[in-house]
Amino acid sequence: MESTTMERSEPEPVTARRATHGGKKGFAFLLLLGVTAVVVCRVIDIDAFTPVPQLLAFLPWLLAPTGLALLLFALARSWTGLTWGVVLLGALAWYIEPYGKTTTPEGPALAQLRVMTSNVHFGDGTAALVKAVKRERPDIVFVEECQATCSATLRDTFGDLSGDKPAYPYRRAVEGYGSDGSVILSRHPLKGTDPIPGTMGMPGAVADVEGHRVRLQLAHPMPPLAGQVGTWRRELGALRAYAAADTRTPTIVAGDFNATQDHAAFRDLLDTGLGDAARLTGDDRRATWPSRTTPRFGAQIDHVLVSSKDFSARETRFLKLRGTDHNAVVADLTLHQRK
């Protein structure tokens, strides 16, 4: 009788499976470790040091690496990793919620204001801004990175009181080159105030809006680049000091803050009693930068902030302008009498 033999497939070596799972867990561990560092800084309310401030600007998008890490831990059957990832997802979801309360002033309306802010990227977006101003007809315009040519163009275009184009006979400016220059244009009379000292120009003024004093301050602190986080924090602190120095006069602080609601230094500014017009109209997560490369997945660093006891916001719009990597922000505001 002949004996028969049956061929059996060799099982995958245990060591190979363990190596594969180990690689997945290792990569997932690194992903969650990075996200955890950022979330911990958000929880304890600090901006820390590079690269944390840069990553905090994109806090909502940290959901993507967290989700990927969860998938890898699931494939590796790591319950510890899955638990870690779920906790992080919960923390991110919590902090993605808008920061601060929304309050509507109860006093009667005194005036309507349309405010625009635009970073024109070393003046490259000046022509597009001119078109947008003619179309939108804001009452007050804050322009960042408006170098000498940009400033002259705005003066020549909108300083003329004749014709049917919008006229802005009042202005305050810090003249400069590159990113240093900034301009405030206004239909309403302006009384100049000292600019806030900073690396880039931050002019200020007090406007007479139908007989009511309104403080105006352009914001353009240094971005939190590697090696410049201390300067960024200090210049945001100067803006906070300005806002806190007078909480009784209606105030508008607008510009490119190089900061989002996920930065502790920006929340400190809001805590002086300022509200973000985009937050008040439900647009608090609309990205304004970088509009050229990742317009859907950017960060909202351009803001119109108003004293919450004096202003309500009816609508906020975001305009893409040719020549600049920032979207302009247009906010329709109502000035109320305080009760």
Provide CATH 3.60.10.10 ranges for the chain.
109-336
Query: Residue 325, Cβ neighbours under 10 Å: how many?
Result: 17
The strand pairing partners of 190, in sequence order, are 207
Phi/psi for 168 (5° steps) reads -130, 80
- Report how far residue 36's alpha carbon sits from residue 88's, in angstroms, rounded to the nearest whole number: 7
| CATH for the stretch 109-336 | 3.60.10.10
- Report how far residue 71's alpha carbon sits from residue 74's, in angstroms, rounded to the nearest whole number: 5
pLDDT of 144: 98
Per-position pLDDT tens, the chain of length 339: 444 454 555 555 656 555 555 677 899 999 999 999 999 999 999 999 999 999 999 999 999 999 999 999 999 899 999 999 999 999 999 999 999 878 889 999 999 999 999 999 999 999 999 999 999 999 999 999 999 999 999 999 998 766 666 789 999 999 999 899 999 999 999 999 999 999 999 999 999 999 999 999 999 999 999 999 999 999 999 999 999 999 999 999 999 999 999 999 999 999 999 999 999 999 999 999 998 876 678 999 999 999 999 999 999 999 999 999 999 999 999 999 998
- Report how far residue 269's alpha carbon sits from residue 56's, in angstroms, rounded to the nearest whole number: 17
Is the pTM value of this prediction over 0.85?
yes
Q: The tokens of 229 are what?
A: 């986080």
pLDDT of 3: 47
Under 8 Å between Cβ of 132 and 165: no
Output the CA torsion sign for 218, 223, 227, 230: positive
Sheet holding 170-174, edge to edge: 170-174, 182-186, 140-144, 109-119, 328-336, 311-319
The strand pairing partners of 255, in sequence order, are 219, 303
